Amino acid sequence: MEAVTETMRGVEAQEFIITRVLDAPRELVFKVWTEQEHLVEWWGPKGMNLAVSKLELYPGGMFHYNMEAPNGMKMWGRFIYLDILAPEQILYISSFSDEEGGLARAPFSATWPMEVHNSLTLKEEGGKTVLTQRSIPINATEEEQRTFQGMHKSLEQGFNGTFEQLEAHLDSVLNS
């Protein structure tokens, strides 16, 4: 798959792309990405518990959540939905946030981009769903662009762990 680059303030950032084939119908995969009772079961890094503060599934709406680690540390995050084409695509801006839903710096890096544009596409192929997540920082400084670029391996590991949880949740839904 061809990687897209975006030039921001003289720096080219390469788009992060991850694909996963899920053994579930597209409508179900879309449902577990868009309903609170499903998101709390799988979204986020392994070992973190998710609590949803707000889920407004429409363009301009917000998914606002916090993740709590076993040691009690909390991180807040948010999506601002740009477009939703059920069950094929969700476009959104992701960022870390504060408890009120405002933008906040990532707790792990002072140079992580404040906002990342994401395109989630779901394509049905033979009863399975091909999920593709494409992400690229927006409105980022040169240093933030470099940080994002340097974290692609870490992003891949994190998303793979999250998608393993998604697969387990899909299995539990399909087998219940």
Q: Does the structure show a pLDDT above 60 at 51?
A: yes
Q: Residue 57: what pLDDT?
A: 97
Q: For residue 149, what pLDDT is reported?
A: 95
Predicted pLDDT of residue 88: 98
Q: What is the pTM of this model?
A: 0.91
Q: What is the pLDDT of residue 105?
A: 97
For residue range 103-122, what is the model confidence (pLDDT) as tens digits?
A: 999 999 999 999 999 999 99
Q: What DSSP element (H or E) covers 146? A: helix 142-150
Alpha carbons 37 and 24: distance in angstroms, whole number:
18
Q: Bridge-partner residues for 118, per DSSP?
A: 92, 135
3-state SS assignment for residue 168:
helix
May I ask the CATH class of domain 5-151+158-174? Answer: alpha beta
Contact 111, 143 (CB under 8 A): yes
Phi and psi at residue 145, in whole multiples of 5°? -60, -45
Percent of the chain with pLDDT over 90: 92
Assign 58 a pLDDT band (cuts: 50, 70, 90). Answer: very high
9, 141 in Cβ contact below 8 A?
yes
Mean pLDDT estimate for the chain = 93
Percent of residues, the chain, with pLDDT higher than 70? 93
- Distance, in Å, from the CA atom of 126 to the CA atom of 152, rounded to the nearest integer, reads 30
For residue 81, pLDDT over 70 is answered with yes
Angle between helical axes of 26-34 and 152-174 (0-180°, round to 10): 110
Q: How many other C-beta atoms can be found within 10 angstroms of the C-beta atom of residue 174?
A: 11
